[in-house]
A = this chain, B = another copy of it.
């Protein structure tokens, strides 16, 4: 009896999109307003999906309190109220697009889950834009 469980969390961060191998003109053309050198920011809404068997003793796929703690430790403390470009190791050399943030968060949470679980990350950058990894 495989079931998927979802848990939400939120963090607020500043970022800037630019590729340091490109000149300013090309960064402007590709990233537009998102290339503002003084940064802009978002309320990121994170949805973590874990798929696994329902434990007949508890009726749970996973204890959501444990999942909540993993998200807090690996994602919220690391990224909440931070500048993704300046304050984090993960985006020193990686452009902090929603796509890349989702891939990074997947790696950070994946290491805490046993092999019996599948993991997927959904990340809303705004109410209108969302990404999902893996597909």
Chain A interface residues toward B at CB < 8 A:
1-10, 12-15, 17, 19, 30-34, 36, 38-43, 51, 54, 57-61, 63-65, 80-83, 86-87, 94-100, 102-103, 118, 126-135
**What secondary structure prevails in chain A residues at the interface with B?**
mixed
Q: Which 7 A-B pairs have the closest CB atoms?
A: A41-B41, A59-B97, A38-B83, A59-B95, A33-B81, A14-B14, A4-B132
Q: List 5 A-B contacts (CB under 8 A).
A: A8-B127, A14-B14, A14-B40, A14-B41, A39-B39
In the complex, which residue of chain B has the Cβ closest to the Cβ of A19? B57
Q: How far is the CB of A5 from chain B (nearest CB, A)?
A: 5
In the complex, which residues of chain B have a beta carbon less than 8 angstroms from the beta carbon of A98?
5
